[in-house]
Amino acid sequence: MTSRRALLAGGATLAAASGARAQAPWPDRPVRVIVPFAPGGNADVVGRILQQRLQEKLGQPVVVENRPGAGGGVGAEAVARARPDGYTLLIGSNGPLSVNPVVQARLPYDAVRDFAPIAMAMQVPHCLVVQPNAPYRSVADVIAASRAASEAIGIGTAGVASATHLALESFKAASGARLLHVPYRGGGAAVPDFLAGNLPMLFTEFSTALPLQRDGKARIIAVASAARLPALPEAPTMIEQGIAGFTAASYVGLLAPTGTPAEAMRALGAAMAAIVAETEFRNRMTAMGGEAASDALATPAGFAAFIAADLAKSRAAAQAAEIRPE
Partners of 115 in the beta sheet? 257
- Rounded to the nearest integer, the mean pLDDT of the chain is 91
Residue 110, domain extent: 31-122+250-320
pLDDT > 70: percent of the chain: 93
Whether 14 maps to a domain, the answer reads no
140 and 105 co-located in one domain: no
Backbone torsion region of residue 260, taken as left when φ is above 0, otherwise alpha when ψ lies between -120 and 50, otherwise beta? beta
Long-range contacts of 130-134 (CB under 8 A, 24+ apart): 130/200, 130/201, 130/218, 130/219, 130/221, 131/194, 131/197, 131/200, 131/201, 131/218, 131/219, 132/216, 132/217, 132/218, 132/219, 134/200, 134/219
pLDDT of residue 22: 52
Question: What is the CATH classification number for the domain harbouring 167?
Answer: 3.40.190.10
Stretch 129-134: mean pLDDT, rounded?
Answer: 97
193 and 112 co-located in one domain: no
pLDDT of residue 320: 82
Whether 89 maps to a domain, the answer reads yes
116 and 259 co-located in one domain: yes
Closest CA to 37 of 107, 93, 120: 93
Question: What is the CATH classification number for the domain harbouring 74?
Answer: 3.40.190.150
112 and 147 co-located in one domain: no
62 and 76 co-located in one domain: yes
In whole angstroms, give the CA distance from residue 292 to residue 285: 6
Whether 72 maps to a domain, the answer reads yes
- State the angle between helix axes of 300-320 and 163-175 in degrees (0 to 180), rounded to the nearest 10: 70
Whether 1 maps to a domain, the answer reads no
Stretch 32-47: mean pLDDT, rounded?
Answer: 90
Whether the per-residue pLDDT at 7 is higher than 80: the answer is no
Whether 278 maps to a domain, the answer reads yes
Whether 219 maps to a domain, the answer reads yes
Query: What are 215-244's pLDDT values in tens digits?
Result: 999 999 999 999 999 899 999 999 999 999
Q: Rounded to two decimals, what is the model's pTM?
A: 0.83
pLDDT of residue 10: 52
39 and 66 co-located in one domain: yes
Query: What are 268-283's pLDDT values in tens digits?
Result: 999 999 999 999 999 9
Q: How many domains does the chain have?
A: 2
Cβ atoms of 171 and 177 within 8 Å: the answer is: yes
pLDDT of residue 17: 47
Query: What are 90-119's pLDDT values in tens digits?
Result: 999 999 999 999 999 899 999 999 999 999
Whether 153 maps to a domain, the answer reads yes
Cβ atoms of 60 and 40 within 8 Å: the answer is: no
Query: What are 47-79's pLDDT values in tens digits?
Result: 999 999 999 999 999 999 999 888 899 999 999
Whether the per-residue pLDDT at 20 is higher than 50: the answer is no
